[in-house]
Amino acid sequence: MRVKDIGGTLKRVARAGVALLTGLAVLAAGAVSAQAVQRDGLPGYWFNPANDGSGWFVSWHGSGLGPVRYEGDNPVYCLEAGIPVNNQGTWENASDQNSKIAAYMVNQHKGNRSDMTQAAVAYAIHDHLDRGNSHFRQLVDVGLEGADINAVRTLADQFWNDARANMPDHIQASYQYTQGKRKGTVNPGIQNVNGQWISGMPYTATIIGPATFDTTGTNTYSGITSGQEEHLAWTATGNGNVQVMIQHSTFTAQKLNSPGQDLFKRADPSTVSGSIQFEV
d(CA 130, CA 110): 20
Using alpha carbons only, give the angle 163, 168, 172 rounded to the nearest 5 degrees. 145
pTM: 0.78
Measure the CA angle with vertex 99, ends 1 and 126; round to 5°: 95
CA dist., res. 105 & res. 17, Å (int) = 35
According to DSSP, residue 259 is labeled S
251 near 265, Cβ under 8 Å?
no
pLDDT for 273: 95
Other CB atoms within a 10 A radius of the CB of residue 51 amount to: 15
Distances (CA, A) of 14 to 5, 56, 61, 134, 277: 16, 10, 19, 13, 57
Inter-residue contact 74 to 110 (CB < 8 Å) = yes
Can you give the pLDDT of all 280 residues of the chain as single tens digits?
Answer: 223 333 343 333 333 333 323 233 333 333 334 443 454 589 999 999 888 888 878 888 888 899 999 999 999 999 988 787 788 899 999 989 999 999 999 999 999 999 999 999 999 999 999 987 788 999 999 999 999 999 999 999 999 999 999 999 999 999 999 999 999 999 999 999 899 999 999 999 999 999 999 999 999 999 999 999 999 999 999 999 999 999 999 889 999 988 888 999 999 889 999 999 999 9
CB 129 within 8 A of CB 102: yes
Please enumerate in sequence order all residues whose Cβ is within 8 A of that of 222, keeping only pairs 6 or more positions apart, or say none. Answer: 202, 203, 204, 205
Give the gyration radius of the chain's Cα atoms. Answer: 24
CB atoms within 10 A of CB 19: 14
DSSP symbol at 238:
S
CA distances from 272 to 160, 174, 224, 242, 250 (A): 22, 16, 15, 20, 7
What's the one-letter identity of residue 133? N
| DSSP line for 143-184 | -EESS-HHHHHHHHHHHHHHHHHHS--EE--EEEEEETTTEE
Q: What is the pLDDT of residue 41?
A: 81
